[in-house]
Every structure is written in C-alpha cells, then in structure tokens.
Copies of this chain bind each other. A is one copy, B any other.
C-alpha cells in the first residue's frame, strides 16, 4: 500500500472515468468489487476515491455508493449571459426554484452597494438546478427604489436581470465580482442536499447602473465541483 501504488490506482480510475460508457448509469461498482478488480485493499482504494472526489470527478450519494460527477458547468463572468442561457448553451437543462421573497436589511449587501447598513432591500432566495441536480443556492438583494413593486409581480423563475432590464429599463453597466472557496454554511448545505461544511465556491456580485447608482447585490453558493470559471483576455495592443 505504498504512496506510489495509490497514485497509480488513482490514475487508472481517472482514465476509466473518462469513458462515458464505462459505468452503467454513471454508478461505480461497490468498493468491494472495485478493490477486487484493481487487486488492492479497501484502504488504498478509498484513498484513490477520496482523491478523485476532491478533483470533482466522482461524488458519494447517501447510502447509494459512488457516482461519476457530471462535467463542471463553464461560467464566463465577463459575458452578460444569464444562468438559463449559459446552461442551455452547454447542452444542459436548467431549472430554478424560488424559495423565498421578502424585504430585509443585509449589511454585507448594503456595504457592497455603498448604502447604510440597515437599508431595507428586496430579497429573493433561489435554488438552481442543472439536469435536476441542485448546484447553486443564491440570494439576491435589490434596491427597492430602482425596481418598485418587484416582489409583487416579478417572475424570478427565469432571469431576474432580464426582469430588471425589461420592466424597469435598468442598465447593468458596472459589476464588481468576487470569487473564492468557502465551505457551505448550514442553510446553503441544506438547500443543496450536502453535509454542512462541504467545500463550496462563493460568488459575490455588486451591480451598478451607468451613473454608478447601486442596483443590486447577489451571493451565490455553488457545489465545489459544479462550476469552472473561464475568462478569455486579450491585451490592448
């Protein structure tokens, strides 16, 4: 059970995972069967499976064993494209659930938007799915005077930004984004059906109009293995 053997086993399993037909229904054989097939111990096998889980290639489903993870969704924050559009463009199926709408003060949103900490904001909480897997728990806060009545009539199941553009004529001219790794807190973990403390990727975004007036702020909590952020840059000549 040397380090070298565990790494070799990880490589072999990783190769097999690239073959879409290698595992029926995307489900790996049991650990017992895998250990026999690769002539190794359960301990070494679990090291290799743990490594592949960390790489986002496989995931565990409660009591049902190991499954091949779907490919990460590519997300290009420099393009002005909504969730439904970029998921569909990648041949995947998007779905959005509205979990909650209310009015609340949220100091981190207010701070990012340059408002007083206790400013009441429209708040919309959504859960988003790709191919029926919950991958994203999202909260969005909108400055009420920019979109009066938003909560009464809004259709947040598709694109909130389309609503802000179309119904309120807002221009999303300036956005400040922050991405970082952060484990999932209690609420996001529950909404995504994983254990609290599971690794996640957080995206925070503050949006302003052409006059740099604040429009809204959102926080996205993604499953760590669901997303890849891609950016293509061209230097000015």
Docked complex Cα distance between A183 and B52 (Å): 9
Instruction: State the CA gap A178–B78 with chains docked (Å).
Output: 13
Residues of B within 8 A of A51 (CB): 183, 185-186, 196-197
A233 at the interface (CB under 8 A from B): yes
Q: Which of B171, B172, B178, B197 contacts A229 (CB 8 A)?
A: B178
Q: How far is the CB of A32 from chain B (nearest CB, A)?
A: 23
A214 at the interface (CB under 8 A from B): no
Q: How far is the CA of A74 from the CA of B54 in the complex (A)?
A: 24
Q: Is the CB of A231 within 8 A of B180?
A: no
Of the 9-residue stretches A35-43, A133-141, A144-152, A220-228, which lies at the interface with chain B?
A: A220-228
Report chain B residues within 8 Å CB of A117: none
Contacts of A171 in B (CB 8 A): 235
Q: Which residue of B lies closest to A224 (CB)?
A: B181
> Which residue of A173, A181, A231 has the most chain B CB atoms within 10 A of its CB atom?
A181
- Contact residues in B for A64 (Cβ distance below 8 Å): none
Q: A51-B183, A51-B197 are in contact. List 12 more A-B contacts (CB 8 A).
A: A51-B186, A53-B183, A54-B182, A54-B184, A54-B199, A56-B181, A56-B182, A78-B231, A174-B232, A174-B234, A176-B233, A178-B229
Closest 8 CB pairs of A and B: A54-B183, A181-B224, A179-B229, A180-B228, A199-B199, A177-B231, A175-B233, A181-B201
Could you pull out 12 A-B pairs where Cβ atoms are within 8 angstroms? A51-B186, A54-B183, A176-B231, A176-B233, A177-B232, A178-B230, A179-B229, A179-B230, A180-B227, A180-B229, A181-B201, A182-B224
